[in-house]
A and B are shown apart, each in its own frame.
Chain A
Amino acid sequence: MANIGVLIENGAEGIKETHFGVITAARRSSGGVFFAFLLNGDASAAKTALETYGVQKVVGVTAAAADFGVRPELQAAALAAAVKHFGITGLLGLGSPRGRDLLARVAALLDAPLVQDCLNVNLEDGTVVKSHFSGRTTATLRLKGNPMICSLRPNSVEPVPAPATATVESFQFPSADCGRIRVKEVKKSSAGALDLAEASVIITGGRAIGASDNYQMLRECAEALGAGVGASRAAVDAGYAPHSMQVGQTGKTVSPKLYIACGVSGAIQHFAGMKTSKVIVAINSDKDAPIFGKSTYGIIGDMFEVVPILTEVLRKRRRQG
């Protein structure tokens, strides 16, 4: 019984988009059952979304403790027990802070090989791809031992639907030993609904945004796009945006699929933090702005004119399905 599984972090807002990439990466062509593990979540509610991507068994993992949801040690122990119970030979999760924490614990409990922050995995032949030297080289590693446990870098694998029919099951971990750690509070940075590092689309406002209120315009566009909202250092320095939104050398390093830079000059310190974006679109009224030399597409124009039009078009499309 060589089954595989993915760890799904589902919060109040449902399953994060990036998890479907994880599921896609974990899929394989032959043998065994494809599990998805949810910790203390409503497994049946997640079923429809998960089976679209090929999950065959959705398992809600719980334990006897009332505060199971805030006990990482107990969660890890329950997950490790489930991995054993269902004969999982490969477990993949998202390389989010929580995912990296839980998977490391599970690997330690099972004395299993662990690779974090993979660019891709092949649970079939037990290999993973990792980035080295800031992405200049990639290494393919073969893991020995069973089960192999990996976390996937957010957005590194494109989600591809592969409909299946899933059943829902629950796994009750008998222990109530909560361990010594309790998550008292999770403070969300005010960067918006989406964590910048995980966002597959980012729209950023530079100094030209002129005022913090004007970010509302970008937030509206971001909502239509499913994007995160960022800021350049100049905008943060000018007090238009909090540091948690800063993309760049001394802020967040991001590599989304699409990066829309509005009113960003393209100073090196900003570019250093987003240069690995797959497609860069620049909107700037200064045709000589250095950002145009770095972008895939450039729109010469006032962001205050261009962005609302873009938002409008995106909304219209969405309405039309």
Chain B
Amino acid sequence: MESYLAIKSILMATAIIGAFGVFYRRTKRLVLLMKRVQGRNAVVPDRIGDRVRILFTEVLGQSNVRRKVLPGLAHSLIFFGFLAVQPHSLELMVRGVFPAVHVADLAPGLYGGYLFIADILAFLVLLGLGYGLYRRLVIRPAYLTNGRDARLIIALIAVIIVTFHLINAFLMLPSIGGTGFDYGRFLTVSQALEELLELKTLSPAAGRIIYETTYWIHILTILGFLVYIPGSKHLHMLAAVPNVFLKPLEWPKPMIKTDLEAEGAQTYGLGKVSDLSWKGVLDLYACTECGRCEEQCPAAMTGKPLSPQRVIQDAKVDLLQQSDAILGRSFEAVKPMVREGSPITGDVLWSCTTCRACEEICPVDIQHLDILLESRKHQVLMEASFPPEMQDTFTNLENQSNPWGFGSDTRGDWARDLDVPRLCDRPQAELLFYVGCAGSFDDRGKKISQSMARVLKKAGVDFAILGEEERCNGDVARRVGNEYLAQMMIQENAAVLNQYSPKKILTGCPHCYNTLKNEYPQFGARFEVVHATEFILDLFRQGRLTLAPDAAPERVAFHDSCYLGRWNGIFGTPRELLRIICAGAPVELPRSADKGLCCGAGGGRMFMEEKIGKRINAERVDDVLASGAAMTAAACPFCITMLRDGLADRGSRVEVKDIAELVDMATS
């Protein structure tokens, strides 16, 4: 026995040092990779207090994970139970190396209390694992990657937990646990196991052999797990917490601004994995292939080749495969992400509508769009590779500053009969109505702008428009990746805006709203920007609008625009408005608010062909038809076009109206 303990001590020390050594080397390599990559657009960790608070809600509170009830619960059970087991396992390791040291004896009450909780939590892990297995073997949702990796991890954790209970059961035997610390007082599940297996009836020698075997299985599985983590999808155990800690604190976010005039810039956007920022790399590490993004992604659900989680995983595989070149600083040798045989293809990148459902649902706050949009930027600026039908749109934006190529001198024509002043004639106006391209040139959009103008007049708002001085806000060009064209238009607009310094800017189009509000500050144009729904609701609250006695529309559904809702968190305001102007509460579509389904037009998709899979607007129209709504309200000219087209395809008579139009109709 003495000699066994001595050998055990040496073996244990060797195993621990070896496993931690390998773990250290592999982790260090991953950290080094984060340092070597050349992208320079990572976050600067600020507001540490807020970030610590996030750790409490999102990590300890599991607030993101729990948004899917059962899988979230299963995750929490595994998460807390697995963590709870570790101190005891560490104690067992210490005891393996130094048989005389019993940590439990130092503070028996404290350790006992811990063990009491850990014993119960550990058992709950098995329930969580059982559900995980059930999901993978029985439910099998399509978005859930179901590889060997996942099953191996479930098996490893199960072994760790079962051996944890077995070890504790044996420790209750005085012949093994000694007479010092009274395990029986604190253990419940393990005690039940001890009684079930009738361990007391074993001979001390047999007990000792089984205990030692269990002990070694437990410790070696944990150490093996440690070695396995950095190379597996369970790298998220290490990367998720820092990634959550470093997430953008403000939900509305601007696109990364590329310095196009940077001296010596060799490339723009994301062309190779080595162009990622260190935070981008951490994003890749943090993904655990839960598939929630894929489940929400409008492209993935309509049969496009894009799945956000696959992009993250494919980029991660690419990064690890090319890590030697990156670590060796031979960046020339790093191959482009989009290349012959690469799973990330042009069709993958161009399928994205930038609806941001993936980022919104991601439990570990991965910024999928940074990768997708920066890749598009590279494709457009460096490779001139983009859907050919975008060429006309780019040319039109360049020449006429609107996607359709109408003469820019006709931008203000929609207001011709409405007597709306230009800001140049009325610079003191309280409000600048930034109309946008759709509102200025598209017949459907013009009607919305005219409604908006009438509503403002009814409320006696002192407003003006830019007219011919207005340019496209830059959203389409920017999200398609033509950063150069986008910046050109943004700078022109910014110069005009700064010249007039409007007190407040109103937009009807959520794309204009998002860009003006969140991205123009990157270009030195900071103004108070409000969306039509916010502004009109305020007008009602101030009593400046009166409802007409006419019959209000009934059964009106609201379709959330991605750039109003998910990008800017405006969900309640439009619904509140509808409650004022419609009879009865708005009808909720099957997929709404933060889980609202994109219309298919975002990210410049409005101006591209949709040739692969089911059309996204058709998928969205399914929701409208299923809801039984008689009318759909939206607050975005692009959504309105997509919904109207989709409904027309079905021969449906459901009307699609902008909220501004409904307000115009409902007020006198």
Q: Does B403 contact A (CB under 8 A)?
A: yes
Considering the complex, which residues of chain B in the window 583-629 have a beta carbon less than 8 Å from any beta carbon of chain A? 607-609, 611, 615
A267 CA to B608 CA, complexed, in Å: 15
Q: Assess whether A134 is in contact with B441, with CB atoms less than 8 Å apart.
A: no
Interface of B, secondary structure class, is helix
How many A residues are at the interface, by size bracket?
A: 20 to 34
Closest B residue to A238 by beta carbon equals B649
Q: Is B443 an interface residue (CB 8 A)?
A: yes
Q: Which residues of B are found within 8 Å of A243, using beta-carbon distances?
A: 609, 611
Of B403, B615, B648, the contact of A207 (CB 8 Å cutoff): B648
Taken together as a complex, chains A and B put the C-alpha atoms of A216 and B398 apart, in Å, by 39
State A134–B615 Cα separation when bound (angstroms).
31
**Selected A-B contacts with CB under 8 Å, 7 pairs:** A136-B399, A243-B609, A250-B609, A266-B443, A268-B438, A268-B441, A268-B443
Q: State how many residues of chain B have any CB contact under 8 Å with chain A.
A: 27
CB closest chain-A residue, reference B615: A237
Query: A234 interface residue, CB < 8 Å from B?
Result: yes
Please give, as numbers and ranges, the residues of chain B lying within 8 Å of A250 by CB-CB distance: 389, 392, 607-609
A266 to B641, CA, bound (A): 12
Q: Is the CB of A268 within 8 A of B396?
A: no
B405 at the interface (CB under 8 A from A): yes
**Residues on B with beta carbons closer than 8 Å to the beta carbon of A293:** 443
Asked if A315 is at the interface (CB within 8 A of a chain B CB), the reply is no
The listed residue with most B CB atoms (<10 A of its CB), out of A249, A266, A269, A271, is A249
For B406, list chain A residues within 8 Å (CB).
Answer: 272, 275
Contact B403 A290 (CB under 8 A): no
Q: Is A284 an interface residue (CB 8 A)?
A: no
Residues of A with C-beta under 8 A to B405? 134, 272, 275
User: Which of these, B389, B393, B404, B611, contacts A268 with CB under 8 Å?
Assistant: B404
Asked, given contacts A268-B442, A275-B406, whether A234 binds B648 with beta carbons under 8 Å apart, the answer is yes
Q: Are B444 and A134 in contact (CB under 8 A)?
A: no
CB distance from B255 to the nearest CB of A (A): 24
4 A-B pairs besides A234-B648, A250-B389, A268-B404 with CB distance below 8 A are A134-B399, A134-B400, A249-B393, A275-B405
Using Cβ atoms and an 8 Å threshold, which residues of chain A touch B392?
A: 249-250, 253, 272
Query: With a CB–CB cut-off of 8 A, which chain A residues contact B609?
Result: 243, 250
Asked if A234 and B649 sit within 8 Å, CB to CB, the answer is yes
The interface of chain A, by Cβ under 8 A from chain B, is: 133-134, 136, 207, 234, 237-238, 243, 249-251, 253, 266-269, 271-272, 275, 290, 293
For residue B182, which residues in chain A have a CB less than 8 angstroms away from its CB?
A: none
Chain A proximity mask over B384-428: 1 for CB below 8 Å, otherwise 0: 000001001101100110011111000000000000000000000
Docked Cα-Cα span, A269 to B609, in Å, equals 11
Q: How far is the CB of A279 from chain B (nearest CB, A)?
A: 19
6 nearest A-B pairs in the assembled complex, by CB-CB distance: A272-B404, A250-B389, A268-B442, A290-B443, A133-B399, A134-B399
Query: Which chain A residue lies CB-closest to B402?
Result: A272
B443 touches A249 (CB 8 A): no
Question: Across the interface, do B396 and A234 meet the contact criterion of CB distance under 8 Å?
Answer: no
- Asked whether B407 lies within 8 Å of A249 as measured between CB atoms, the reply is no
When each residue 432-455 of chain B gets 1 if its CB lies under 8 Å from chain A and 0 otherwise, what string results? 000000100111110000000000
A135 to B184, CA, bound (A): 90
- A289 CB to nearest chain B CB (Å): 10
Q: A295 CA to B393 CA in the complex, in Å?
A: 23
Complex-state Cα separation, A188 to B474, whole angstroms: 37
Chain A residues with Cβ below 8 Å from B444 are 267-268, 290
> Counting CB contacts under 8 A, is B469 at the interface?
no
Please determine whether A249 and B641 come into contact, CB atoms closer than 8 angstroms.
no
B389 pairs with A134, CB closer than 8 A: no
Q: What residues of chain B lie closer than 8 Å to A290, measured between beta carbons?
A: 443-444
Closest to B405 in A: A134
CB of B212 within 8 Å of the partner chain: no
| Residues in B whose Cβ lies below 8 Å from that of A207 | 648-649
Q: List, in ascending order, chain B residues with CB within 8 A of A249's CB.
A: 389, 392-393, 403-404, 607
Residues of the A chain whose Cβ atoms lie less than 8 Å from the Cβ of B649 = 207, 234, 237-238
CA distance A234 to B615 in the complex (A): 12
Check if B645 is an interface residue, CB within 8 A of chain A. Answer: yes
What is the CA–CA distance of A170 and B365 in the complex, to the nearest angstrom? Answer: 74
Which chain B residue shows the least CB distance to A272?
B404
Complex Cα distance, B258 from A184, in Å, reads 44
